[in-house]
Each structure stands twice: as structure tokens, then as C-alpha cells.
Amino acid sequence: MTTNVSPNLAADEVISVNGLKIHYPTDEGVVKAVDGVDFKLKPGETLGVVGESGCGKSTVGRAILNILDKPGKIEGGEIAWRLPDDRVIDITKLDANSRMMRSIRGAGIALVFQEPMTSFSPLHTVGNQVAEALRLHTDLSEQGIVDRSIELLQMVGIPNAEQRLKEYAFQLSGGLRQRAMIAMALSCEPRLLIADEPTTALDVTTQAQILDLLRELQQTNDMSVILITHNLGVIAEMADNVCVMYLGKAVESGPVDEIFANPQHPYTQGLLRSIPSIYTRNVERLPSIRGSIPHPFNRPSGCTFRPRCPNYMDGVCDQNTPVFQPLEGTSQMVSCFLHHKPEEQTAPPAEGVA
């Protein structure tokens, strides 16, 4: 097999996603679930990927592992991944069932699924599922696998770990299932963990425990993390950098402190204004972003956020497609005509309908 060497991965980076596009052809038309996403990640860093439901966050995570649901397929872009021997490959060029992809999935890159109740098999015990990755990616004996499985459950804070290995997912509480899912993902000490809504539907105390656990394990193993969530509070606490997505596109990215202190895209500003603060009065209504995400078969022309944007400029936003590019004087990148006039960028032709 020929290894596809990528020029877009620096020596200190573990993964780089460039211009990723993922389409789902259907009878009604083509759904552009992801239509241009770029980010890079160094060892030990955490990238927060945020946006409303349906913006393509989880699809990006699944594409990195090459486990897209059919009929989804990668239409363009590159996912450059550094192997342990320092070779660089493009995951988009690998077959989903190839030996190389299966060696990466679970060992080099692991995924904590959004809902552990539906992600665990109801027919197999928790121990059987944790042990599966160890059998595939390690040379441990059967007793070694059992010992390692017990160690993993203890590491993520599951009490009576030996007994829990014999139980099924439905016998565990939501918090314990989430911990077991993290244990399974971390079983082979991956260099990149993709955590898809790891605290959804958990109570606040359990959320804090899960986040503390992820932070501790990350520091111990120098593991990179892609944290997919709609919870900006979690992003503020955990992430080093942020990528804000809207309707399949990255609209703003940068260091978490800069994004929270000085958001540049109207969508990011709207998300941050909607967060309750200690200064919010009980009777005060929180600001919201007007309208809703357009139907995927009726994408607006020009800037896809323009129907909901308070800064919409007639004749500009509807007739030109903004380009995701660096913002002068900052470490941020943004896709907005408030900062980059159409004549200052080489924009692709506008897509969709007006």
C-alpha cells in the first residue's frame, strides 16, 4: 500500500484536517453535512468543536475514524495523521476496512460515543467489550486482558470493577456507562481521543467528575483530545482551542481565551450571549439567535448564516461566499464579510438558492 505523505502536517502536530467535505447523496438531493472544516492539533492539546445540533460536529469525528454511516462519503479535503513511526498518511485515502485503518481505529485514535446506552452491545458484557480492543491491538494473554480491564475500570472510578466486568450496559447507571465507555476508548492508550458529547444527560456532579477524569488522563498520557459539545461552559473549562461550526462549515476558530473574550463572527457572538451569567436576573430573558438552521436541501446562497445574522449586508452576504481565513492582528480565523471584504478574498462561487 502506498502511504500518502501530506505537506499539511507540521513536525509538532499529530493530526491536521484541511478542507474536509462530507456529503450524503439521497433521493431528494445531496446533503452537505460537512462543507469545509480546517483544524490542527498538537500532542496534549484539547480542541473544542461547538455549534448547534445538526451542524456536522459528530460527522467530523466519525470521518476521522472512517466510520461514516452509508451513504455518507468524503467528497474532498484531507485528514493528515502521524503514525507512531513518524510517517504521515491521509486517512481519507484509506479504505474503511483496510488493515491500516483498523490498526489506527481504537489504538491510535479512539472515540467516546455520544450515547453509551446505544453504543454498547446489549448482548455482551461490559468486560467482553472492553477486552475486545485489547485482543485486537495488544499481545496480552487472556489473564492479562482481564487484569488490564479491571485496571481500566478502576482508573475511571468504577467501584467493584471485577463484578462490573460481568454486567451488561443496562445494569449500569448513566454515569457508570459513560465511565465504562471512556475506559474502553482508553484501553490501548490512544494518542487522540474524540469525545462526542461525553457529559450529555449526566447530572452536574457526574459531569464534573467525567471532565476531571479526562483532564487527568490527558495529562498522564500526553493525549490529544477533540471535545465535541454544544456546552460552551465545558469548552471554557477544558479546551485550548475552539472551532465553531455552522451548517457544516467552520466559521471561526482560535485560542479559547481569545474566542471567549473577543468573538468575531456574529454566530459565535450569539452563542456566547445566550450563556447565563451570575449577573443575569431571574426575570431576564436570555438573548437567542433568531430563526433556525436552514433545511439542508435549501441552503442560502452566499453566507449560510445570513438569514439569521444581525449584521447582514444586502448585496454582499447574499451574493458572495465568505472564505475561512486568518484575522489580522489575532490568532483567530474567521469566515465573515465584516472582516474580509469580497474584493479582499478569492471566494468560491455562491452555492444554494436565495
Give the integer Cα–Cα distance in Å for 196 and 214: 13
Better-scored residue on pLDDT, 157 or 150:
150
Where are the domains positioned within the chain? 15-246
Angle formed at CA 275 by CA 271 and CA 280, multiple of 5 degrees = 140
- Tens of pLDDT, residues 67-93: 998 899 999 999 999 998 889 999 999
Quickly state the pLDDT bin for 186 (edges 50, 70, 90).
confident
Identify which of 41-45, 52-56, 217-221 has the greatest average pLDDT. 41-45
Residue 5 CA, chain-centre distance (Å), reads: 24
The grid coordinates listed for 203 are 447530572
CB 350 within 8 A of CB 321: yes
CATH 3.40.50.300 describes domain 15-246: yes
Q: Which are the contacts of 83, defined by CB distance < 8 A and separation ≥ 6?
A: 89, 104, 108
Q: How far apart are CA 9 and CA 16, in angstroms?
A: 6
Q: Which residue type sits at 346?
A: T
Could you tell me which of 30, 24, 28 has the C-alpha nearest to residue 63?
24
DSSP for 76-108 reads: EEEEEEE-TTS-EEEGGGS-TTSHHHHHHBTTT
d(C-alpha 161, C-alpha 150), whole Å: 6
Whole-number pLDDT of residue 260:
93
Q: How far lies 60's CA from each of 22, 143, 335, 337, in Å?
A: 8, 37, 19, 25
Amino acid 48 reads G
Helix (H) or strand (E) holding 256: helix 256-261
pLDDT at 344: 66
Residue 247, judged by CB atoms within 10 A of its CB (0-12, 13-18, 19+), counts as buried
Per-residue confidence band for 351, with pLDDT thresholds at 50, 70 and 90: very low
> 7-11, 55-59, 224-228, 347-351 — which is least confidently predicted?
347-351
